[in-house]
Structure 1
Amino acid sequence: MLALDFVSTLRAGRSGLTDNLADPGALTAWARSHADDLGLDPGFAATPEQWSQVVELRQAVRALFARAVAPGPPSAADAARLPPFDQALARVNAAALAVPTAPRLAWDEAAPTLTHVPVGPAEQALPARLAQAAMEFLAGPQAAELRACPAPRCVLYFVKEHPRQEWCSTACGNRARAARHYRAHKGE
């Protein structure tokens, strides 16, 4: 899921937060690894302006994800630094509108296929596609299962795939159980 991959570019490790979009080069590498989903040319190279727009957009999308998981707590990564909901919503909508898409029909020997391609400024295509992916996710059926991982030091959002799933991964579940065990036996 592109929207989850996008917000998950901010991660927590033993040394604190890790930003997989720390600079234009990091954005270039991440975008190239998602080129098919983003409709990007494999030779894509992010400009400093695109990088700034994408990082700002990520904070806006994280704010919308925080709202979507309410009344549960948002991710602890940046909850205090998220823009207000109204500003985040306006930012995501503006990014999506910057480059509308149009249908393109391709026909190979087997059957026709329909894709949607950007019809606007190429430099705005990346933020627009990321905003559209977030909008599709948040308006889709999986949004009801969106959760913020409650494990210590985890900052990720995930889609709950099983009724008993509480964490984004087994590693986070193990870390949470170990922390709970430590707290329970600390006073002994």
Structure 2
Amino acid sequence: MNNPGPLVGEPLALDLVNTRNADGEHLATPESLRAWLDLEAARFPEARDLAAADLGEPELATARELRGHTARALEHVRRGERPPQEALDAINRAQRAAPAVTELTWNDGALTATRRRDGSAAERLAAWLAEAAADLLANPAVATIRKCEADDCVTLFLPAHPRRRWCAAARCGNRVRVARHYQRHKPA
């Protein structure tokens, strides 16, 4: 299977977990981390700020380590089981390293609130991703997260519709339908 890149559009923590899937490793280099953050920037302004930071191997290692802890915790929580304490500790530690503060400023006659974090790019990235993981893991909807039903896909998604079966209809759903059609109509 070719490597079409990571899917985005799920809760941020799921998008992070899905950066390592059957298509391969989507966070292989600092540049691929930046590209993923650019994809996420349409929904998350903090991703735009982080993508503009000087991202190197430490930030890549941080993102991948946090992805592993999130995936391990998610695997258990989805089934209603206690997650590994080391995963929870790592997620909590990452959040504490660069907590978010809502700064108020007066601009052109209006009060604006902007969330900011102090710390290195790696600490800010880890805290942002860990906060998203904590939000997802504590959400009762976590029990409804599904794995794509395509045989060669391990992507997780939070179904908006109870009949959703694939991570993306145009990606896996179409491949499954084409394979089924071929099986029904293949020459004898």
TM-score range, shorter chain: 0.7 to 0.9
Query: Displacement of 1:159 after TM fit?
Result: 0.7
Q: Which residue, out of 52, 66, 79, partners 2:61?
A: 52
Amino acid of the structure 2 residue aligned with 1:173? G
Distance in 2, Cα, partners of 1:164 & 1:20: 28
Q: 1:153 to 1:96 in 2, by over 3 A?
A: same
Q: 1:39 to 1:97 in 2, by over 3 A?
A: farther
SS at structure 1 position matched to 2:116: strand
Distance in 2, Cα, partners of 1:129 & 1:39: 12
Q: Which moved more, 1:101-110 or 1:162-171?
A: 101-110
Query: Displacement of 1:180 after TM fit?
Result: 7.1
1:169 corresponds to: 168
Distance in 1, Cα, partners of 2:61 & 2:33: 10
Distance in 1, Cα, partners of 2:99 & 2:48: 13
SS at structure 2 position matched to 1:40: helix
Q: Which residue, out of 12, 32, 50, partners 1:2?
A: 12
C-alpha contact 1:31 1:38 (8 A) present in aligned 2:
yes
Q: Which residue, out of 11, 29, 34, partners 2:21?
A: 11
Q: Normalising by structure 1, report the TM-score.
A: 0.74
Q: Which moved more, 1:4-13 or 1:129-138?
A: 4-13
1:66 corresponds to: 75
Query: Displacement of 1:104 after TM fit?
Result: 0.7
Q: Normalising by structure 2, report the TM-score.
A: 0.74
Q: Which residue, out of 16, 30, 35, partners 1:29?
A: 35
Q: 1:183 to 1:59 in 2, by over 3 A?
A: farther
Trace 1:78-157 onto structure 2 (pairs within 5 A): 85-109=84-108, 111-157=110-156
Identity of aligned residues (%): 36
2:52 corresponds to: 43
Structure 1: 5+ residue runs without aligned partners?
72-83
Amino acid of the structure 2 residue aligned with 1:9? T
Query: Displacement of 1:87 after TM fit?
Result: 2.0
| 1:53-77 deviations in Å (ceiling 9; x for gaps) | 2111111111122123227xxxxxx
C-alpha contact 2:30 2:60 (8 A) present in aligned 1:
yes
Q: 1:33 to 1:162 in 2, by over 3 A?
A: closer
Amino acid of the structure 2 residue aligned with 1:22? A
1:20 corresponds to: 26
Distance in 2, Cα, partners of 1:2 & 1:150: 21
Distance in 2, Cα, partners of 1:92 & 1:107: 34
SS at structure 2 position matched to 1:107: strand
